[in-house]
Amino acid sequence: RIPDPTTEGDFCRRFETPQQVELLMEAINEARLNVWQKQPKKFFDEAVIDADGTIAETDGECKQGMDIAYNGKWGYHPLVVSLANTAEPLYLSNRSGNRPSSEGAADYLDRAVTLCRRAGFKKVRLRGDTDFTQTEHLDRWDADGVKFVFGIPAMANLIKIAESLENKAFSPLHRPAKYELKTEPRERPENVKQRIVRERQYKNIRLEGEEVAEFEYCPTKCKTSYRLIVLKKNLSVERGEQRLFDDIRWFFYLTNDRKKTAAEIIRDANCRCNQENLIAQLKGGVKSMTMPVDTLTSNWAYMVMSSLAWTLKAWAALLLPEEGRWVKKHREEKRTLLRMEFSTFLQAFVQMPAAIIRTGRKIVYRLLSWNPWQPVFFRLLDQLRHPLRC
């Protein structure tokens, strides 16, 4: 049953302290451990934990805890700590709109590391953008055996060091194709946008190439030096057919991973952007960040409870068996379901028309339509008949 909005709001307001919401998240994570224990051994090779903040705008005027964010919008500033392997939100924290992105992130990252180690992950890696570098915690994470890849702001001293590097210290960065072409290559269509920009003499910035280098760097609040990966983007600024001047933009990534190449570190850092897709699903898919209640803590509770819908979708994918003759096909179905948008999941697995027929000894659910995901649905149904054991 779906509760009345007033009943729903009254229930959320019963969460009066942050500790109550945190207990709710820990209870969900205890169930999460049971699902993870059903996964194959390869699943536990490495846990990749991402952290990011996002602005949850609200039109309300009397909501406790709301404030003006950095972009001038009123609302809250939730923190999302997620497992990149499965796109599961491990911890959510609601904060006032004017709070910095990294506030409280170190504590939740520590909790996520502990959770993943309890599950049996052999290695743990943290990722975040420049707001989450938090140099005061890097030595502690490094001593604890936690790997990390964080963006670091392009500060003047770092740019000066990068510019002083010899040309031979840089090597071209070759980015692999996003997918393998399985058919014959086709002729690319005309780039209409690029033609219009050129014809109307708009200013255009074109990427000419990328180069990568690295050097040792010890942040001010650290006692240990780490690898600082330098990404140099060579740009040309054009207007129409004329090339105005060349430009260079610098990007820096700090890591304690000594085994991966600099190019692999950059690709790993770029993969963190996939967390934006998770945040988009939490906002637009399960509507976790609509902030419908009147206090910061009650909206936090609503955010955690509604995000459970996305978590259940991930668990449904993780519980699909990968056995038997069609193991390769089943593994691909599991991967697709794990990455599926929530609206597609609703249409394929939840909003299925059915006739409920009561007979003398049983109840029959007769599906009235077909969709390509029904074989997966029935395999999942068979799997859920077996109770999860701790």
Query: H/E/C letters for each residue in 89-113?
Result: EEEEECCECCCCCCCCHHHHHHHHH
Digit-coded pLDDT (tens) for 304-323: 999 999 999 999 999 998 87
Is the same domain home to 352 and 221? no
Which long-range CB contacts under 8 A does 312-316 form with residues at least 24 apart? Answer: 313/337, 313/340, 313/342, 313/345, 314/86, 314/87, 314/88, 314/338, 315/32, 315/35, 316/349, 316/380
User: Residue 128: helix, strand or coil by DSSP?
Assistant: strand
348 Cβ partners below 8 Å, 6+ apart? 340, 371, 372, 373, 377
- What's the token pair of residue 130? 């420049």
CA 299 to chain centre: 21
Is the same domain home to 174 and 124? yes
Is the same domain home to 278 and 372? no
At residue 155, φ and ψ (nearest 5 deg) are -75, 160
CATH number reported for the structural domain that contains residue 162 in this entry: 3.90.350
Domain extent for 310: 5-318
What pLDDT is attached to residue 171? Answer: 94
Specify if 390 maps to a domain: no
Is the same domain home to 233 and 125? yes
Is the same domain home to 209 and 354? no
Specify if 337 maps to a domain: yes
User: Residue 20: helix, strand or coil by DSSP?
Assistant: helix
Specify if 377 maps to a domain: yes
Last residue of a domain, one of 267, 292, 318: 318
Digit-coded pLDDT (tens) for 206-231: 999 999 999 999 999 999 999 999 99
CA distance linking residue 139 with residue 102, whole number of Å: 17
Q: What percent of the chain has pLDDT over 70?
A: 98
Is the same domain home to 257 and 313? yes
CA distance linking residue 289 with residue 42, whole number of Å: 34
Is the same domain home to 207 and 332? no
Sequence letter at residue 319: L
CA distance linking residue 376 with residue 332, whole number of Å: 11
Digit-coded pLDDT (tens) for 62-85: 999 999 999 999 999 999 999 999
Is the same domain home to 310 and 354? no
Residues β-bridged to residue 111 = none
Digit-coded pLDDT (tens) for 12-50: 999 999 999 999 999 999 999 999 999 999 999 999 999
At residue 159, φ and ψ (nearest 5 deg) are -65, -40
CA distance linking residue 91 with residue 27, whole number of Å: 11
Last residue of a domain, one of 294, 318, 342: 318
User: What is the torsion angle, in degrees rounded to the nearest 10, for the CA atoms of residue 29, residue 34, residue 35 and residue 40?
Assistant: 130
Is the same domain home to 342 and 244? no
Number of domains making up the chain: 2
